[in-house]
Each structure stands twice: as C-alpha cells, then as structure tokens.
Structure 1
Amino acid sequence: MAQKTVLIVYAHQSPGSFNAAVRDVAIEELREQGYRVLVSDLYAMKFRAEATRDDITGDLKNSELFQYGDETMHAWKKGKLSDDIVAEHRKVEEAELIIFQFPLYWFSVPAIMKGWMDRVLTQGFAFSLEQMYDTGIFKDKKAMLSFTTGAIQTMFRPDGINGDINVSLWPIQNGTLHFCGFQVLAPQIFWSPAHCPLTVRTAMLDGWRERLKGLLEEQPLTFAPCELFDLSFKGGFMMWPEVRKEKEALPFGLTTGHHLGKPLPPDNQISAQSTKESGAKADCKK
C-alpha cells in the first residue's frame, strides 16, 4: 500500500509555543502510524503573504489591467508561477490531508496563513466555477483547522460575548476549504491554553494525540450539496425553489450559512458524528 501524506501548514512565531507543541504531537503520532508528514512552517520560511505581480514570472496576459486571479490562473497553466507557490502546489498535490495549525487572530487565521491561502489556492489549480464545493477539484482530499484561542470556550457560545464559534468558522471552512472541494474534518479547538494550568494543557495534547489515531477515518462536516442549487448565472446560483420550500418545513436551517432565516443547526461547523469529543472540547475555566 502506498504511503499516505499529510501536510501541516503551520503559523506561529515561537518554537516554544503551545501551537508548536500541537504541531509536534501531530508529526510524531502521524509518523508512528506510517504517514509521510510535510510541514510548511510559514514564519520560518518567511513565506510572503502579499498576492502581487511578483507571483508571476515573465509577461502578463493583460499588462494594462492587472487582475490577480486571472493572471495567476494563466501563469499556472503556462508554468509561470513563482517558485514558492509551485513548491506549495506540489505539497498540496501529494497530501491526502492538510492540517492548518495556528492561533486564532481576530476571529480568523494569521495574515501569513491567509496569504498562503490567497496565493497557493490558485484559480484553476484549486477551484473554478465549474468545479467547486462538493464537486471541487480537491474533493478526494481532506482538510481541517487546528487552532488555539485566547478566549475561554464560553465566550464563543451563542450566548457568549464573542458569539457562536460556528459563525466565525463558516467563512474559512465553507468559503475557502469546502469551496475548493476539500472534505472538511471537524476543527480541533484548544480553548485558551495560555490561561490553563499545565495539567490541562497536557490533557489537551493527550486528547489531540488520541484523536489523531483515527483522524483520516472520521466523517467530514456536513455542507449543502451543489445539487440543491441552480448552478447557472441565469439562476443566480440560488437554491431551487422546490428545495427551499421543502427545507422551510424543517425546525433548523440547512447549514450555518444556509439558515433560511431559521435557528442555526447546532454545532454545524465544529462537530461530526465520529469526532473524538475529548480532544476537541478540552477546556479550562478561569
């Protein structure tokens, strides 16, 4: 059987951080299971976050009006992308699973990781309007977020001051990862490790190690399948009227994003049936 590959895209400045410890547990456990583990340590690589003209070698398709998406797609087809993007493309192509490891910054990923997504998930290579969401280019690959928060878990509940974590995660998990076709595994959330005692941080890492033992066999999160929508410009990529009518009879919305004015489906963005709850929900109180 061919060796499977996992790519960890890692963004933290300090080798002594809890994020580094989480990364190291993943590397160790996955390698013990026989996986080949690749790591893109973005700060160590000095990975450039800005999506600019420098991402293209040679002449532009349209030198009068620079449009990043069109130009990088053209450059990808012609083999004219910058070396750092090409190197990351190869890692993505080889990986069955991509783990994004980071501290939550302003309800999102750090700028350097957002730059990785902007530059590496190139149009044509990672997505197109003909191949998106559950019919996307990476539909046979899995991806997940693994991150730390500064806030305690209760602050990210629907009645907490930060609001529902499911809403915060929707743009990244659906709008980026699932849009490119990835099967998105439930996130691994480490709630406020900086405010936790050593025993709790150790328990968090132990829970993560345990989850990793069956990670690639987990069921992905649930998203709305493309067949529910009229995928044409004429139809506006809107839900078919008969589908909407059917869904309106349900007590909850279809997904966090497709709520149809109803209550959000509980934990739509943070849990799946086979998720190991012990690791994902480790928490400490002040």
Structure 2
Amino acid sequence: MENVLIVYAAPEPKSLNGALLAAALKTLTDQGRCVEVSDLYGMKFKAVLDAADFPDRWNTTVFDPAAEQMHAIATDSIAPDIAAEIEKVRRADLLIIQFPIWWTSMPAILKGWFDRVFAQGFVVNVGTGEVYGRGLLRGKKALVVVTAGSPAELYAPGGPHGDLHELLRPLTHNLLEFCGLEVFPTHVVYNATGIAPDDADREIELYQDRLLAIEA
C-alpha cells in the first residue's frame, strides 16, 4: 500500500487528534509511502449534498441525488471539490478515516464528505450488484481511527454507551465494506478528554506501532 489518503475530521490542530495525525504522517512517510491528507475542517469542506453539486443536471425537475451522481460520474461533470476528492480516493491504496466520536458517531462534516464523495457510480453500482465483494473500491483497504472521550468500559458490550465497534458498524460495514473496501479492525483511543501528556505519548506510540504493522 504505497499511497495513503488520510481523511481527517477534527477541528483543533493542537488536540490529541492533531498529534495522532502528525505521527501518522511521519510514520508513513518514513516508510516511503506517499501520503495525502484531506483535512476537512482546514479545507472548510462543504458538508451538504445538494443540487449545486451537479452543474450538468440529469433531471432538472426532480432532484434525485443517486441518479444525479450516476450521471455526473458517467459524464465527468461533478462539482470540482468533489472531483478532487474522488481523485485522491482513486490514487489511494489505503484510506485512513480519523475523527473524534461525537454523540456516538462521526462529525457531520465527515458524514458530508462520504455523502458527496462516495458517489453512486464511483464507489458502488447498486443496479448491477456491484456492492460488498463486488464494490467498485475493491482492492483498497481502510483503517478507521477514532478518539473517544469516555473510558473503554463505557463502550464495552453491555456498557451504558453500547459496544463502540457496533456503533461504528454503519461506517465500517454498511459504508466501507459495502463499497468493496477491506476494513482493518478499528483503532480506538479511549479517555481522550483531558488525557495526561504521558498517556497521550503512549497512545501515539501505540498508533505508530499499529501503522507499522500494516503491510506495504
């Protein structure tokens, strides 16, 4: 996996997430990998899929997002900011999706990135059955990296927040695997809120070790 795309959705560069991103960049580039970063907050990425994403509308009477995506992908007429992200995904062998857990899910800006960039006709074709093992992103791999403010026991099976891995299943399975990606087990940093510097350093080292364990 020579080419890596990190889709990063955390608003504060000086946060633990910012430190994890910096560590990933150093670790991966030191391995000789080509790394691109989509810093969604830094880019002020538009998070809302709407008709403006499709300058060459297939149907100007009724807005059908899936149909417009299929048409835009087929005619190479999608909005430029989406097209740029699609090209990053095309180049990537490994996608790293990094974000803090907010209300047991991903930040809205990241959901918007998926809504707009993971377009019908690019990542899947439901009509022809090109989903899951036949998804259009098959051959690529993905790693989800999250920080959670609460301790691990609150996110354990039967815990008050629910099993974090099940909470993330709509992302890891219904979205990433649905598109054909091979998804590695999620990397989680618990107790991220107010984490002590020594603990943060340890978590960064663990993350670097995790990245080094992913075969090139």
TM-score tier by shorter-chain length is over 0.9
Residues 1:184 and 2:215 aligned together: no
The one-letter amino acid of 2:28's match is L
1-side partners of 2:31 and 2:142: how far apart? 18
2-side partners of 1:76 and 1:40: how far apart? 21
**Aligned-partner SS, 2:88:** helix
2-side partners of 1:71 and 1:185: how far apart? 31
RMSD (CA atoms): 1.2
Q: Measure how far apart 1:106 and its partner are.
A: 1.3
1-side partners of 2:133 and 2:103: how far apart? 28
Higher RCO (CA 8 Å, separation ≥ 6 residues)? 2
Summarize deviations over 1:33-88 as a string: whole Å, max 9, x none. 00000000101111000000111113x21112110110121011111100000000
Counterpart of 1:49?
47
2-side partners of 1:103 and 1:216: how far apart? 25
Counterpart of 2:65?
68
The one-letter amino acid of 1:53's match is A
1-side partners of 2:153 and 2:195: how far apart? 14
Identity of aligned residues (%): 36
Q: Measure how far apart 1:197 and its partner are.
A: 1.9
Q: Which among 15, 18, 23 is matched to residue 25 of structure 1?
A: 23
1-side partners of 2:59 and 2:206: how far apart? 51
Counterpart of 1:131?
130
Counterpart of 2:92?
95
2-side partners of 1:54 and 1:32: how far apart? 40
Q: Measure how far apart 1:195 and its partner are.
A: 3.6
Counterpart of 1:160?
159
The one-letter amino acid of 1:4's match is E
Report matched runs for 1:223-234 at 5 Å.
none
1-side partners of 2:84 and 2:178: how far apart? 22
**Structure 1 unaligned spans of 5+:** 218-286
Counterpart of 2:101?
104
The one-letter amino acid of 1:210's match is D
Report matched runs for 1:183-262 at 5 Å.
183-216=182-215
The one-letter amino acid of 1:133's match is Y
2-side partners of 1:213 and 1:166: how far apart? 22
1-side partners of 2:119 and 2:37: how far apart? 20
**Structure 2 unaligned spans of 5+:** none
**Aligned-partner SS, 1:80:** coil
Counterpart of 1:80?
77
2-side partners of 1:108 and 1:100: how far apart? 13
Q: Measure how far apart 1:196 and its partner are.
A: 2.9
Q: Measure how far apart 1:168 and its partner are.
A: 0.3
Q: Which structure features the higher share of helix residues? A: 2
**How many aligned positions are there?**
214
Q: Measure how far apart 1:199 and its partner are.
A: 1.3
**Aligned-partner SS, 1:38:** strand
Query: Any conservation in 1 of the 2:165–2:186 contact (CA below 8 Å)?
Result: no
1-side partners of 2:10 and 2:19: how far apart? 11
The one-letter amino acid of 2:114's match is M
Summarize deviations over 1:135-168 as a string: whole Å, max 9, x none. 2111100012101001110001122111112220
Counterpart of 1:13?
11
Query: Any conservation in 1 of the 2:150–2:193 contact (CA below 8 Å)?
Result: no
Q: Measure how far apart 1:128 and its partner are.
A: 1.4
* Structure index of larger Rg: 1
**Aligned-partner SS, 1:162:** coil
2-side partners of 1:169 and 1:13: how far apart? 20
Residues 1:117 and 2:119 aligned together: no
The one-letter amino acid of 1:164's match is D
